Amino acid sequence: MAQRKLTMRKSKEILRMKWKMEFSDRQVAASLRISHSTVGDYVRRAEQAGLDWAQVEKLGETELKSKLFPQEKKKVKPNHRPLPDWEKAHQELHRPGVTRKLLWMEYVRDHPGGYGYSQFCELYRRWAKSRDKPVMRVPKKAGEEVQVDYAGQAVSVIDPETGEKRKAQLFVGVLGASGLIYSEAQWDQSLPNWTRAHVRMFEFFGGVPEIIRPDNLKTGVTKASFYDPDLNPTYHEMAVHYGAAVIPTRVSKPKDKGLVENAVLQAERWILAALRNQQFFSLYELNQAIRKRLHWLNNRQLSNRDISRRELFLKLEKQALIPLPELPFEYTEVKQAKVHIDYHVTFKKHHYSVPHQYTRHKVLIRAAEHLVTIYHENRRIAQHVRYDRYGYSTDKSHLPVKSPLVSGVDPGKVLQMGPADRPTH
């Protein structure tokens, strides 16, 4: 059992990654920064509740919590359960088409009271580790992951009016199987630029890999909050929008990020160095030049191989990527807030109403370029036109019947939205 309950947002992400994306407990744990035993505990709870992903996806936070944590009953010491023949299982896994899931199904067929699937996999992992034998490195599976990072070198852009030089940062992404590289210049390594670079990268690839793997140690970019779905829901929601998951490189595991480090080196050598004698007077102009060099780099024949990254991509990886969604992800600012006693929440000095029954409740505010949408337990409860100035946006349907505004008395502080301004979706 987990020592401390997770938020239901993180609980739901555990189940999405386990059941929809079919990740291992350790992959989920690495992505969400929790222990693999906690992952197993939450999966077991969901299984015991008779849930599947289709059901979980539709549940609100309160409903999911009641399913995962029903009235606690006194624990009964479990009976001894037989262990599988791990040596035989290990040999079977080398046969074509044989998976851990299949071996577990055969195991529980013979031992109905045996271990659950998550425990089965964990026990096998421990057994395999205890053998302490060298293991051959497995090539990256097509469509499995993209590694992302920023280059250490910056590029100067000249202000055409003042002549002042401003440094631009180089974002780099690389697909695991083909090595296809994406790169673009940005003014800084902020969360909006970081997120939007991913959106443009996926459009460049024409699809999305299962895993987004950023550097766990990059200061200023990949802080812990960048990957935690509770602390930074925007990056998490971007991954969910594209059907992917974020799993940072492991601390003190340099081999995890070898692919992107090489891609950064290639970008610095064949893009930045090649452009060193050119002057750029806008970020757009710089990115146009980068795109031309990127095209050359991806079509360049690889050393000791009669094939290019682009050819490998078309041959191995393109068809393995997750198709792009109908609409690209739109970056939004996200803030958690508590509804005031006057049933409004505040974002950037402006106050927006929600239905009065949510007074004093915690809500999530998502502010896009033109709209502010407010959620309670993952359900949309209000939407307003966005204003970045002081004022009040109040929907009369949110007010209690006895409100002065509903009665026709203007209290003097409320800026009521007219029918033409009020969103209809």
| Interval 22-35: pLDDT, tens | 898 888 888 888 88
Spatial separation of the C-alpha atoms in residues 277 and 390, rounded to whole Å = 48
Q: To which residue do tokens 């539709």 refer?
A: 58
- The answer to the question of residue 424 being in a domain is no
Looking at the structure of the chain, the number of domains it has is: 3
Minimum mean pLDDT range among 75-84, 88-97, 344-353, 395-404: 75-84
Examine the domain organization and report whether 276 and 309 are in the same domain. Answer: yes
Examine the domain organization and report whether 249 and 273 are in the same domain. Answer: yes
pLDDT digits 0-9 by tens, 174-190: 999 899 999 999 999 88
Contact 168, 279 (CB under 8 A): no
pLDDT attached to residue 403: 58
- Per-residue exposure over 383-392, b if at least 16 CB sit within 10 Å of its own CB, e if not: bbebbeeeeb
Minimum mean pLDDT range among 66-80, 252-266, 284-298: 66-80
Examine the domain organization and report whether 200 and 342 are in the same domain. Answer: no
Contact 171, 197 (CB under 8 A): yes
pTM: 0.64
* DSSP letters for 195-230: HHHHHHHHHHHTSB-SEEEE-SS-TTTS-GGGT-TT
- The answer to the question of residue 272 being in a domain is yes
Examine the domain organization and report whether 253 and 382 are in the same domain. Answer: no
Average pLDDT, the chain: 83
pLDDT attached to residue 290: 96
pLDDT over 70 (residue 231): no
Examine the domain organization and report whether 122 and 153 are in the same domain. Answer: no
Minimum mean pLDDT range among 32-41, 136-145, 249-258, 276-285: 249-258
pLDDT band at 9 (very low <50, low <70, confident <90, very high): confident
Examine the domain organization and report whether 117 and 229 are in the same domain. Answer: no
Examine the domain organization and report whether 244 and 342 are in the same domain. Answer: no
- The answer to the question of residue 369 being in a domain is yes
Examine the domain organization and report whether 51 and 175 are in the same domain. Answer: no
Examine the domain organization and report whether 244 and 312 are in the same domain. Answer: yes
Phi, psi of 166 (to 5 degrees): -125, 135
- The answer to the question of residue 65 being in a domain is yes
pLDDT attached to residue 8: 82
pLDDT over 90 (residue 369): no
pLDDT over 50 (residue 395): yes
| Percent of the chain whose pLDDT exceeds 90 | 41
| Segments forming the whole domain that contains residue 370 | 333-398
Examine the domain organization and report whether 350 and 224 are in the same domain. Answer: no
pLDDT attached to residue 222: 42
